[in-house]
Amino acid sequence: MSVLVVDVGTTDVRVSVVRSDGSIDCAHRREVLATSLAPGLSEFDAVALAAAVLETARAALAQAGAVDGIGIACQRASTIVWDRSTGEPVGPGLGWQDVRTAGTCLELHGRGIHLNPSQSATKVAYLLDAADPERRRNLCWGTVDTWVAWTLSEGGLLVEDATNAAVTGLVTVDGSQWDEQVRDALRINSGACPCIVDISGTVGRATALLGDPPIAGIVGDQQASLVGQGCILPGSAKITFGTGGMLDLCVGQSRPSFEDRGKHGTFPIVAWRRAGRTTWGVEATMLSAGTCMEWLSDDLGIISSAEECDEFAASCPDSGGTWFVPALFGLGTPEWDYGARGTLLGITRGTGRAQIARAVLEGIAHRGIDLVEAAEKDAGYSIGTLRVDGGMSKSAVLTQALADAGGRPIEVAAVAESTTLGAGFLAGVELGVWSDLGEATSTVLPRTVVEPQQQLDRAGWAAARQQALGTIPELSALEF
């Protein structure tokens, strides 16, 4: 038995087949890059994204043969508006990083409606205002999961799973339905909204693919990674190190006590929902992780790849007193300072590429432990062992620094992209491949376990982080 998983990230589409033993094969990938016409803007071509989904899915099926069903995992909050009759987008898709609607969010704050520009709500309104200011056209909207399900079903499905819906800013506190007050404020008609569905459950068939396999699981990327790493019990947590870094902690079936943001900067999330029953979690966010590798290679030119960064960093025992704060787009949890900026401190005549490379990786590790500490405080759990995945989890220097900064073991995922596994598990439980998530995730074993070897200087890190705050006071003053 097997599940075809369509995994749509910020930069590419990956389609693979997850087998009943937890193995992954028949992988196909197509790059679909976002564009940025100006700072703070992030757009993508929804038509090209749909074409890449169909191309990779058909290629994987041609290689694998028949599958039992389909799981979908995707980047969250990225938003598309399209014509329901023709299926044509009315404008570019707006990426989750796009903050062009910050002014609208501030205006809404004055009316008692608290939204963040990285959420979908004001992105939907922006696209609707541009294409249909009078709200007369037969338009609909969705996040990437909605668009993928629409594409695979040839327009037969307009659905959004509970994890993606929960980060739109458009749902009620319990995540079960669209919030009428927010819809009315943004003039988003109820008929334009997708139907909110469980993460694990059959919603329709992928008629665009051979055999019309059922779509049985839809989930946001971070929640998919949480399940894919086997973090299904309260108190278990993972960090995914990708473009940014996301820590997700499972807290069980009681919703976190805070409605929006906790005292220490984490957010309540729907971890998964099956048969109408919700499991909750909290999420902490690092805005810059893998982006720092791109900065070192593409902009500074001091490394050629992430692998070379690791080699340079491993060639010296420490950073020589150099500190790097990865705040290239501001600092997320716990401060949420959009005016903070990347900071490199303690440079001497003896500081070379190796010390800078190590400082960057150790700075990302320190930020990772910032997320751990914030989640523990907001959720009331102690995270004994931390699991990590994502492209940067391949860095031995980073994972060792994470263990040393946090003083706890780090379990490195055997599969760097655990999102695929998680989406496969959620769909597979619905399809009978596994009896429950416990059986499915029993196949998850770490590639390696990294034990702490020394204690990194957290007090020194806190002082360095303080230096990064408030670099652009006007942005630091913004509160979303």
* Residue range 89-136, pLDDT digits in tens: 999 999 988 989 999 999 999 999 999 898 999 999 999 999 999 999
- pLDDT over 70 for what percent of the chain? 100
Domain annotation covers residue 243: no
User: Which of 469, 297, 450 has the alpha carbon at shortest distance from 387?
Assistant: 450
> The domain spanning residue 37 has which CATH number?
3.30.420.40
> What was the pLDDT predicted at 173?
87
Predicted local distance difference test score (pLDDT) of residue 329: 86
Q: In whole angstroms, what is the distance from residue 327 CA to residue 289 CA?
A: 9
Q: What pLDDT does 198 receive?
A: 95
The answer to whether 269 and 280 are in contact (CB under 8 A) is yes
Percentage of residues of the chain with pLDDT beyond 90:
90
Q: What SS3 state is found at 342? A: coil
Distance CA 182, CA 111 (A): 11
**H or E element: which one contains 338?**
none
Q: Give 286's pLDDT tier (boundaries 50, 70, 90).
A: very high
- 297: number of Cβ within 10 Å: 16
Is residue 417 scored above 80 in pLDDT? no
Give 301-313 pLDDT, tens digit per residue. 999 999 999 999 9
Question: pTM here?
Answer: 0.92
Q: Which residue has the higher pLDDT, 193 or 291?
A: 193
- Average pLDDT of the residues in 150-176: 95
Q: Say if 77 falls within a structural domain.
A: yes
pLDDT for 104 equals 96
For residues 286 and 326, the answer to whether their CB atoms sit within 8 Å is yes
Q: Binning pLDDT at 50, 70 and 90, where does residue 58 land? A: very high
Does residue 87 sit within a domain?
yes
**pLDDT at 33 (0 to 100):** 83
pLDDT class of 410 with cuts at 50, 70, 90 = very high
Residue 415's pLDDT band (cuts 50, 70, 90): confident
Q: What would you report as the CA-atom Rg of the chain, rounded to the nearest whole angstrom? A: 22
**What does the pLDDT look like over 253-283, one tens digit per residue?**
999 999 889 999 999 999 999 988 999 999 9
Q: Give the tens place of pLDDT for each residue, 369-405.
A: 999 999 999 999 999 999 999 999 999 999 999 999 9
Which tens digit of pLDDT belongs to each residue from 73-85?
999 999 999 999 9
Structural tokens at position 460: 């020194």
Closest CA to 267 of 480, 41, 42, 124: 480
Dihedral angle sign, alpha carbons of residues 359, 365, 369, 375: positive
Instruction: Indicate the pLDDT class of residue 337, thresholds 50, 70 and 90.
Output: very high
Output the pLDDT for position 144.
Answer: 98
> What is the helix, strand, coil percentage profile of the chain, to 5?
35, 25, 40
Pair of tokens at residue 46: 């929804």
Q: Is 2 a residue whose pLDDT tops 90? A: yes
If you average pLDDT over every residue of the chain, what do you get? 95
C-alpha 100/C-alpha 122 separation (Å) is: 9
Does 338 reside within a domain? no
- Residues 141-168: what's their mean pLDDT? 97
Q: Has residue 11 got a pLDDT over 90?
A: no
Q: Give pLDDT, residue 157.
A: 98
pLDDT of residue 429: 96
In tens, the pLDDT along 420-442 reads 999 999 999 999 999 999 999 99
Question: Which pLDDT value is given to residue 430?
Answer: 96
Specify if 256 maps to a domain: no
The answer, yes or no, to whether residue 39 has pLDDT greater than 80, is: no
- For residue 379, give the 3-state DSSP assignment: helix
Residue 152 counted as domain residue: yes
**Residue 296 DSSP label:** I
Is a pLDDT exceeding 90 seen at residue 40?
Answer: no
**Structural domain span for residue 96:** 2-221
Is position 321 within any domain? Answer: no
Specify the DSSP class assigned to residue 411.
E
The total number of structural domains that make up the chain: 1
Q: Does the pLDDT of residue 10 top 90, yes or no?
A: no
What is the rounded average pLDDT of the residues 334-361?
A: 96
169 belongs to a structural domain: yes
* Average pLDDT over every residue of 237-243: 94
